[in-house]
Structures are given as structure tokens and as C-alpha cells.
């Protein structure tokens, strides 16, 4: 009887130990996936910052031209300010949507600015504008890759917390699904930025 009780106690202790180790591994796996999502989002922000910096260099060039249409430039400056002022919580779909909308508005207003360069041929020949032309395409590609990487990390995280048995752990530690970076309406079309330099 004593031997049976010892076997039962050892079995229970072994089961508790197995569950503890499994729980620790599962929690660590969820936390690692969460950190990866944060890192990938940081990469997205870094690439958007690169684009904003490029836009800023062209804006400075335009501001130096006293004859340029100030209303178009003002719209770009305001859109840039709004786009850089939004703090994103990657767990909150609303802040992610606000960020996407602000970035879309910035790109749209900047496209209008570029289109208005037709009337100002001297601006198109400045070094700053030529540098911008060279770098913007690569930056847009980087942004696209960073968003894809972010979505992949969100997918990995979300799968971890919805699949059984880690979904049990996710519920215990309060882990919730994260939103994906969605494409903007009409984003299936290429941005309308034309460089018709002669």
C-alpha cells in the first residue's frame, strides 16, 4: 500500500513537473513571438521614417523657392506632421488604421506636390530632387517588404495563441490576437508620382 501511494505521488509530481515545463515553454514561445512582432513593427516604422526624411528633403527644396504654390506645400507639411504624430499600439487595430490613413494622406498630398512641379522646371533639376528620385523607389520597396514581414510575424503570433494547447496558456496570460497591416483602399494601383523631366 505504501509502495502504491509512493508510485501515485511520484506520478502526480512527474505530471505536475511536465505541465510546469510545458507551461514555461509555451509562455516563453508566446512572449518570443510577441517580441518578434514588436521588432517587425519597428522595422516598418523605420522605413516610413526613411520615406518621411526623403519627403522632407524635397520639401526644404520647395520651401526655398519663393514662387512655389504655398497651399500645395502647406498640405504636404500638415500631412507629414499628422503622419509623424500618431503613436501606434500594435495591439489596437484603431491606431494601426489611423497610422495607415495618415501615411496614405501624406503620400497622396506628396503626389499632388510632385505633379505641380511641371510648372516649376527649375525645381526638378535641383540635386535634392534628383536624389529623391533615386531613393524613393527603393524606399517604397523597403516599406512593402517591412509590412509583409510584420504581417508574417503577426500571423505566427496569432497562430500560436489560437492553436490548442497554447491557446489555454494564451488565455491565462491575457494574450490576444494582433491586427494585421491591411492594404489601403485603392493600393492595388501604383502611386501616381510622375517624374517627367526633360
Instruction: Please state, as a whole number, how many other Cβ atoms lie within 10 Å of the Cβ of residue 114.
Output: 22
Q: Who has greater pLDDT, 75 or 190?
A: 75
* Local structure of residue 163 (DSSP, 8 states): S
Q: Give the SS3 label for residue 122.
A: helix
The fraction of the chain above a pLDDT of 70, given in percent, is: 81
Alpha-carbon distance of 68 to 169, in angstroms, equals 60
Query: What is the arithmetic mean of pLDDT over 173-190?
Result: 75
**C-alpha distances out from residue 129 to 15, 52, 70, 151, Å:** 67, 14, 18, 32
Output the pLDDT for position 194.
Answer: 47
Output the pLDDT for position 14.
Answer: 79
**C-alpha distances out from residue 191 to 19, 110, 113, 135, 149, Å:** 53, 10, 13, 15, 21
Highest mean pLDDT among 35-44, 57-66, 189-198: 35-44
Alpha-carbon distance of 31 to 37, in angstroms, equals 10
Q: Is the distance from CB of 104 to CB of 184 less than 8 angstroms?
A: yes
The fraction of the chain above a pLDDT of 90, given in percent, is: 20
State pLDDT tens for residues 63-83.
766 566 677 778 888 888 888
Mean pLDDT of the chain: 81
In this prediction, residue 128 has a pLDDT band, given cuts at 50, 70 and 90, of low
Question: Residue 48 pLDDT more than 50?
Answer: yes
**C-alpha distances out from residue 102 to 54, 76, 85, 106, 129, Å:** 17, 11, 9, 6, 23
Output the pLDDT for position 189.
Answer: 53
77-85 — which CB contacts under 8 Å span 24+ positions?
A: 78/109, 79/105, 79/106, 79/108, 79/109, 79/110, 80/52, 80/55, 80/56, 80/106, 82/106, 83/48, 83/52, 84/52
Cis peptide upstream of residue 5 (ω within 30 degrees of 0): no
Amino acid at each position: 500500500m505504501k509502495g502504491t501511494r509512493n508510485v501515485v505521488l511520484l506520478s502526480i509530481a512527474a505530471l505536475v513537473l511536465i505541465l510546469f515545463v510545458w507551461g514555461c515553454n509555451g509562455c516563453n514561445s508566446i512572449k518570443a513571438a510577441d517580441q518578434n512582432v514588436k521588432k517587425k513593427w519597428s522595422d516598418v516604422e523605420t522605413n516610413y521614417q526613411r520615406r518621411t526624411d526623403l519627403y522632407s528633403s524635397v520639401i526644404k527644396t520647395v520651401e526655398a523657392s519663393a514662387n512655389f504654390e504655398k497651399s500645395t506645400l502647406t498640405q504636404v507639411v500638415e500631412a507629414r506632421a499628422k503622419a509623424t504624430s500618431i503613436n501606434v499600439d500594435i495591439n489596437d487595430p484603431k491606431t494601426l488604421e489611423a497610422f495607415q490613413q495618415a501615411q496614405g494622406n501624406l503620400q497622396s498630398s506628396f503626389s499632388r506636390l510632385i505633379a505641380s512641379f511641371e510648372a516649376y522646371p527649375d525645381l526638378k533639376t535641383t540635386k535634392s530632387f534628383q536624389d529623391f528620385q533615386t531613393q524613393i523607389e527603393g524606399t517604397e520597396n523597403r516599406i512593402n517588404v517591412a509590412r509583409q514581414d510584420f504581417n508574417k510575424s503577426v500571423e505566427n503570433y496569432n497562430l500560436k495563441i489560437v492553436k490548442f494547447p497554447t491557446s489555454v496558456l494564451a488565455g491565462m496570460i491575457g494574450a490576444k490576437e494582433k491586427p494585421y497591416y491591411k492594404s489601403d483602399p485603392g493600393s492595388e494601383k501604383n502611386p501616381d508620382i510622375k517624374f517627367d523631366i526633360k
